[in-house]
Amino acid sequence: MAQAWKCAGLRWAADGPVLSWVGGRRSALVRGKRVAFGVAEGAKGTEGAEGAEGGVRICVGARGHACPVRAGVPGRSTGARCEECARLDRAHSVAADTMADDPRPYRVYLAWFGPGLVKVGITAYERGAARLLEQGAVCFSWLGCGPLMAARRTEELLRAALGVPDRVPYAHKRAVRDALPGSAAERAAEIAGLHVRAVALGGWPQSLTPAPFDAVDHAGVFGLEGAERGPAAVAEVAELVAGGAIGGELVAAAGPDLHLATERGVVVLDTRLMTGWELVSAEGAPCTVPLRELKRAAGVQDGLF
């Protein structure tokens, strides 16, 4: 019987993306190498799976604690949490504005994901660029640094005055990845212009120290530029299902997304769909998970699969 593992999500380390597993195991993801797994069927005794039942996707819990009722969650959910655990997880998050007394310094940033896709956000200073890698930001620049509430007020200022959103859907990010400009300067142009407009605004909190424009480009890190860039993706995984499998050469990775060259073309797998499932090795297995055609930005030709 194949050993099954429960995925704890994708993390970005200094040397690239890493899949982490419940129990502490880590799997480095290297472009050019094969990534392949299947979803377990039926109940199994597993190492590192915390007793989850094969064939059922179980809520991952909240704030480091297991779901008390081991609720099932839909295969298409990228959060992998039941309603109650999702509420508890968000209740103590920076995004929910419930941590006003957090003493850590925060940075405000402008992030660019592709033509016309820019957002403003904040991240703890100690995390460096990790948040930007996790979101799949192709390039970014810091705007300033200060206390949490000052960073939050600056974020709100840019949203109101410049119309810059604080969220960009992943579907939109995927739609433009194959239409990225060829040079780092072109990719940074939109946030360069917004940075100039942002620092010229009145009303910045006095406790927030502005940062000069300094674009950081992740296209090479993600595998989205140069001679090593793989073929365009033609589909994305809609959900994982018990007994399903997917495998292919890793040609790119951006944020939580893996671009895998399968026998059905390059397929984008959002690794957030993996959490909550028991997964087993599936070397050589054909792609048998549900796929949907990848939406394209205007002007980008659709592929077939």
Q: What is the pLDDT of residues 89-110, one digit of tens each?
A: 887 666 555 566 788 999 999 9
Q: Which two tokens stand for residue 264?
A: 């059905």
Task: Report how far residue 73's alpha carbon sits from residue 77's, in angstroms, rounded to the nearest whole number.
Answer: 7
Residue-wise over 229-243: b if at least 16 C-beta within 10 A, else e?
Answer: bbebbbbbbebbbbe
pTM (whole model) above 0.85? yes
Residues 6+ apart with CB under 8 A from 271: 7, 9, 10, 19, 256, 257, 258
Q: What is the pLDDT of residues 51-66, one digit of tens each?
A: 445 689 999 999 888 9
Task: Report how far residue 265's alpha carbon sits from residue 303's, in angstroms, rounded to the nearest whole number.
Answer: 9
Residue 184: which of 150, 146, 138 has the closest Cα?
A: 138
Check residue 94 and give its pLDDT: 63
CA distances from 223 to 136, 138, 148, 264 (A): 12, 10, 33, 20
Task: Report how far residue 291's alpha carbon sits from residue 240's, in angstroms, rounded to the nearest whole number.
Answer: 9
Task: Report how far residue 82's alpha carbon sits from residue 85's, in angstroms, rounded to the nearest whole number.
Answer: 5
Check residue 1 and give its pLDDT: 52
96 vs 166, residue with greater confidence: 166
* pLDDT at 47 > cutoff 70: no
* pLDDT at 19 > cutoff 70: yes
Provide the 8-state DSSP code for 263.
B
Q: What is the pLDDT of residues 176-207, one digit of tens each?
A: 998 899 899 999 999 999 999 999 998 999 99
What average pLDDT does this structure show over 24-49?
Answer: 78
Q: What are the two backbone dihedrals, phi and then psi, of residue 27, each rounded to the nearest 5 degrees? A: -125, 110
